[in-house]
Structure 1
Amino acid sequence: MAATATASASTSAIGSSYPSTSSSSSTAPKTFRYPPIHAFPPFYTLQHNPVSRAQQLSQWRALILDYCRSHRIFSLSPLPSASDASGSSPHKTLFANASIQRSLSPESIRAVLADLVEHKGAAWEDQLTTAKKSAAAGQGNNAKAFIYWKTPAQWGDAIYEWVMATGQNKSIMTLFELNQGELVESQDFYELPMPILKLALKHLSSQGKAQIFAGSEAEDGEGVKFV
C-alpha cells in the first residue's frame, strides 16, 4: 500500500501544472527562479503513462522557454558542448538539480527537445540549414535545437521596430552587421543564430518590409534593405 501511495503522489506532482509561487534553486542565477517541480526527483524520469508524460513534457516546455529567455540561450543539445563546461551550463542547471542529485539523461533531453520541436517551440538545426527536410532531423544526441523563446516572426517584428526607431529604414545592412554589429549590441537579437535571423527577415520580406540580397560567397556578405 505504501508503494502504491508513493507512486500515486509522484504521478500527481508530475501531472500538476506549475504552481503560481516558485522557489529558487541553489545553482540558479538570482534573476531566474525555478518552479518547485525542478526540485522533484521524478521530474527527471520521463513517465510511461501517456497522460502523465504529456503533462510532464508540458512542464518541461514551459521551463525550457522561460530559462532560455532569461539566459538568452538560443540553442540546446542533448549532450553538452565544450563551451558548456562551466557550472552554469544548462546541463548542470536546467536539466539537472545537484541538490537532489537528479538529472535528465541525454536520451531524455533529446525526447524533451523533440517534444518542444513538435509543439513549435523549437526547430532542429538540420531542419533549417539543409535544403531537404529529412525525416531523420534531430536524431542522435549530437543534434542541436534552436529554441524559439521568440518565434522567427517575433524576432522579425523586433528587428523592424528597432529599424524604424533608429532610422535604418531605406538603408542596406549586411546580415553580419545586423547580427554582430556595434549598433545592435544592446538588442535582444544580437548574435541571433543566422538560421533564425534569416527566417525573421523572410517574415519581414513576406510583409513587404524588407528586401533580401544574396551574397557572393561569405554568409556575412548577404544583405537586407528595410523599406
Structure 2
Amino acid sequence: MAIKGVLFDFSGTLFRIESTESWLRAALTAAEVPLPEPELIRTAEELESVGALPGGALPSQPLPARLAELWEVRDRSAAQHRAAYTGIARQVPLPDPRLHDALYDRHMAPAAWSPYPDAAEVLGALRERGVAVGVVSNIGWDLRPVFRAHGLAPHVGAYVLSYKHGIQKPDTRLFALACEALGVAPQDTLMVGDDRRADGGAAALGCGVHFVDHLPAPERPDGLRPVLELVG
C-alpha cells in the first residue's frame, strides 16, 4: 500500500493532557479559590478515579445509571461532551460548585496540552514528503487552537471532529469524511491512534492502522517515528 495520507488521533497520540493535579490546580488558581495542599491532592485523586478529566484516565468504577448512557455518546455533540464530563466531575465535592464548569473549560486551554516530543518532527517530515495529514478525533470542542498555539497547525490539512458531524469513532463514516477531506482514498491512508477500538475502526473502511501507546509525553519520546518508516 502506497501511503498518500495519514490520519492522526489527537489525545494520547499527538498531544497529551496535563495531569489531573495540574488541571485542578490551574482551575483553582484561575478562580482564586484556595484549597489546602493535602485536600488538593486528595481531590485530584478522586477526580482521576471517576474519570473526570477529558483525555485523562477512564472511569475506574461503573458510572451512575444517569451518566452511563450519556457517556457512550459523549463525543457526538459539544453539549453532550460537556454534560458528560461535568456530570462525572460533580461526583467529587469541590469548594465552589462553579469549579466543575471551570475544570471543563480548563481542559480546552492550549496550556493544558503538550505535544509528544516527536510530533512536530513527524508531522513536518510527512509534509515535506508530500503526504497529506489530517486529524480525526472523538471530541466535543474545537481543538485547532491547541495546534496553533503549539506550532503544529501548518502541518495539518484537515480536521474531522466527531462533535461537528454527530458521528464518533469507530463509525467508519467519520474516517470516510476524513479521507474525503484529504482527497485520499482509504486504501492509500494510514490511521494512527492509541485506542484499538475507536481508531481501529478505520480498518473496516480499508485504511491501514498503526497504534501508539497512550503514555505521558516524557515516557514516549519517539513513539510516532515508526510512522515515517511505514510511509516509506
Provide TM-score, normalisation by structure 2: 0.28
Q: State the TM-score, normalized to the length of structure 1.
A: 0.29
Structure number with higher relative contact order (C-alpha < 8 Å, ≥ 6 residues apart): 2
State which structure, 1 or 2, has the greater radius of gyration over its C-alpha atoms.
1
